[in-house]
Amino acid sequence: MAVDHVQPGRFVVLEGIDGCGKTTQLQAVSRWLESPEAGCLPPDRQLIVTREPGGTPLGLALRELLLHPPGGAAPGSTAELLLYAADRAQHVERTIRPALAAGHWVLSDRFSGSTAAYQGHGRGLDLALIQQLEAVATAGLQPDLTLWLDLPLAESLRRRGGRAADRIEAEGASFLERVAEGFATLAGQRGWVRIDAMAPVDRVTAACCAALRGLVDVP
């Protein structure tokens, strides 16, 4: 009897500081990936759009604890790191791996790079420990492509304007500067594709889609 081998799907991540345009590009890239023009998804395959934290029901509860904790419940730095690791472990096990095994594509707003940037470079936690937790939480899973939307911190702050800040965003400019520098370091170390997020929105989308074409045999 012939065995039906399912071609594994692809895992794509968008990373960057708050205000870099990830939400806008996630929507635009999703539309492109699902279009006939892209040629990425066969008729029997889906695009799964997800995020961290919050890509599972458990993750949604953890997201509230991490970003909008009730009074007195804000986690300390180490607890925060472990909560992000728990969210990721559940996300990988319950959402990402099953989707990839079924041949679907997964597009995620943030993954392990954000933990290294925010909790490692931003909070100053041990990067070696963070790598160990990443290995446990992901069970070795790595994105096929990470798009880093590179935006200067000053522009990030300007774009956010008077928008209410979550607990992480409210840490202040010096913290966010360390995070931004961390993303730049990680991009070089991990081979991320840099996208100039200062460019007009349509040019940012075009650059993202051009990078995605490298994942499939598209004319």
Do the domain assignments include residue 62?
yes
Are the CB atoms for 143 and 94 separated by under 8 Å? no
Query: Could you tell me which of 176, 175, 171 has the C-alpha nearest to residue 156?
Result: 176
Which segments in the chain show pLDDT lower than 50? 1-3, 218-219
Which structural domain range is residue 139 located in? 11-213
Alpha helices of the chain — where are they, by DSSP H? 22-33, 57-67, 77-91, 97-101, 112-115, 127-138, 153-160, 173-190, 201-213
Do the domain assignments include residue 28?
yes
For residue range 128-161, list pLDDT tens digits in order: 999 999 999 999 999 999 999 999 999 988 887 7
Report the distance separating Cα 92 and Cα 26, nearest Å. 19
pLDDT of residue 164: 66
* Residue whose entry in the numeric block shows the structure tokens 């209410």: 164
Continuous segment of H or E residues that includes residue 188: helix 173-190
Do the domain assignments include residue 167?
yes
Compute the radius of gyration of the chain from its Cα atoms.
17
Report the CATH number that the domain containing residue 172 is assigned in CATH: 3.40.50.300
pLDDT of residue 218: 42
pLDDT of residue 177: 94
Are the CB atoms for 25 and 157 separated by under 8 Å? no
pLDDT of residue 1: 39
Q: How many domains does the chain divide into? A: 1
Do the domain assignments include residue 145?
yes
Kindly tell me the burial class for residue 97, based on how many C-beta atoms sit within 10 Å of its own C-beta (0-12, 13-18, 19 or more).
middle
* Residue whose entry in the numeric block shows the structure tokens 């607890």: 79
Do the domain assignments include residue 219?
no
Question: Hey, what amino acid is at 130?
Answer: I
